[in-house]
């Protein structure tokens, strides 16, 4: 045997070690890539989306609608709030929160869970980050609509849109779907809203 030259067994052993190191490196890189991407994606979720994904018994959601900007005697607003225990619709006259009517119904955890899941699929907390947050006086001839999620009655995130063409606000979900989901939580909600509109005409 000549000194300085590896034996055949030694060469095979070196090849096995190199292969193990290579496979281990690839596995580590893949894990870092996919796990890192998952963590990064989770970190980019808004506070509202995180709460929607992991709601608690103190979570509630709310749709608020401001009617056209007209004389205070003819102005109306509507609020629908849904939680695990209650469903409430309230209509208002004027700009100072004068209540026209309110109706509160019970709710269950199972019903609320399905409702939140449906809202999530409709993009309830999807934000259009290209839009601004300033909305006072916008869509004066139509409706300004807010979609909100709360924890212990404290707002966590609030997005807005309008009924006016090309004034979509920072809400990036499916507007009609979300509106219909809220309205469907209250029997005869459309009749209640019509009554409010007629009362201020």
**What pTM, to 2 d.p., does this model score?**
0.78
Tens-digit pLDDT profile for residues 65-107: 999 999 999 999 999 999 999 999 999 999 999 999 999 999 9
Residue keyed to tokens 């607003």? 77
pLDDT category at 9 given cuts 50, 70, 90 is low
The rounded radius of gyration (Å) of the Cα atoms in the chain is 28
Q: Per-residue pLDDT tens for 106-133?
A: 999 999 999 999 999 999 999 998 887 7
Q: What is the pLDDT of residue 38?
A: 44
The more confidently predicted of residues 14 and 91 is 91
Complete edge-to-edge strand list for the sheet that includes strand 144-151: 98-106, 86-93, 76-83, 59-66, 144-151, 154-162
The rounded Cα 105 to chain-centroid distance in angstroms is 24
> Which residue, 172, 157, 173, 145, is CA-closest to 48?
157
Q: What's domain 50-200's architecture?
A: 2-Layer Sandwich (3.30)
pLDDT mean over 150-169: 95
Pairing of strands 76-83, 154-162: unpaired
């Amino acid at each position: 045997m000549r000194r300085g030259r590896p034996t055949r067994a030694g060469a095979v052993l070196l090849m096995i070690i190199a292969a193990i190191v290579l496979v281990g490196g690839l596995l580590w890189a893949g894990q870092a890539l996919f796990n890192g991407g998952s963590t990064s994606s989770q970190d980019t979720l808004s506070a509202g989306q995180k709460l929607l994904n992991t709601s608690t018994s103190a979570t509630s959601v709310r749709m608020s609608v401001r009617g056209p900007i007209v004389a205070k005697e003819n102005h109306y607003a509507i609020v629908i709030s849904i939680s695990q225990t209650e469903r409430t619709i309230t209509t208002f006259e004027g700009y100072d929160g004068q209540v026209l009517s309110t109706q509160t119904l019970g709710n269950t955890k199972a019903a609320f869970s399905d409702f939140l899941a449906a809202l999530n699929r409709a993009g309830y907390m999807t934000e259009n980050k290209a839009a601004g947050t300033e909305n006072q006086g916008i869509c004066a001839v139509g409706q300004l609509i807010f979609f909100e999620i709360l924890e212990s009655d404290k707002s966590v995130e609030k997005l807005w849109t309008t009924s006016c063409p090309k004034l979509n606000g920072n809400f990036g979900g499916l507007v009609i779907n979300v509106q219909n989901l809220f309205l469907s939580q209250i029997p005869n909600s459309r009749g209640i809203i019509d009554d409010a509109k007629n009362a201020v005409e």
